[in-house]
Amino acid sequence: GAGVSQSPSNKVTEKGKDVELRCDPISGHTALYWYRQSLGQGLEFLIYFQGNSAPDKSGLPSDRFSAERTGGSVSTLTIQRTQQEDSAVYLCASSLALTGKGETQYFGPGTRLLVL
Amino acid sequence: SQKIEQNSEALNIQEGKTATLTCNYTNYSPAYLQWYRQDPGRGPVFLLLIRENEKEKRKERLKVTFDTTLKQSLFHITASQPADSATYLCAPNTGTASKLTFGTGTRLQVTL
């Protein structure tokens, strides 16, 4: 597709369950980012991947959160033992390169997670 | 710690007027600053980037200024239209890492 896609678009789960969120970046984009947006809050950086380099996990809020990027393309964000405070919109973005010079990030539509 | 402030109150203006949104930051020196637009239920969409050595940047009806002394960026939409109604996010960044740090955004409502 032409843009970043994410699935599922909505996810309702029970407290304590594990969830997996998927992101398909734009083809050819080497950098991939995950953010979280809670109601009325700004975007909170979670993790980014650049090529084959070790990911920057500095934004992950706890060890219940993990992410993988297979083959330099698709990424999965996993939240184990979900808590109600994990309820938020999880946004994925990708960019052409990671130069630190202001490359444009292209965002997907997000996955709305609700933990009951 | 680094802090980004955008007016949390919605900005309501009449069609045809100029909308001005403010982004203030403290405790760091961004090398560049980006503005994004976010519509309800959608991800942010990039609008403009301005670098620390640029005072002003324009794109069609959009204008961004960057004052590193005041630690402030202003985002202007001239001849505003109802279709401009959205939340606008600023993201000042140092350039040493590409993860973006966003403000909480200001919601703009343009009425007829």
Contact: A101, B42; criterion CB under 8 Å: no
Give the CA radius of gyration of chain A.
Answer: 13
Instruction: Calculate what percentage of chain B has a pLDDT beyond 70.
Output: 96
In terms of Cα–Cα distance, which of B71, B81, B82 is closest to B30? B71
| Rg of the Cα atoms in chain B | 13
Q: How far is the C-alpha of A85 from the C-alpha of B86, rounded, in Å?
A: 26
| Yes or no, beta carbons of A33 and B32 under 8 Å apart | no
When CB atoms are compared, the residue of A56, A98, A102 closest to B49 is: A102
Q: Is A7 left (phi over 0), alpha (psi -120 to 50) or beta?
A: beta
Residues of chain A with pLDDT > 90, as a percent, come to 69
Q: Residues B4-43: pLDDT tens digits?
A: 999 888 999 999 999 999 999 998 888 899 999 999 999 9
Q: How many CB pairs under 8 A join A and B?
A: 63
A47-88: per-residue pLDDT in tens? 989 888 888 888 999 999 999 998 879 999 999 999 999 999
pLDDT of residue B2: 79
**B98–A109: do the CB atoms touch at under 8 Å?**
no
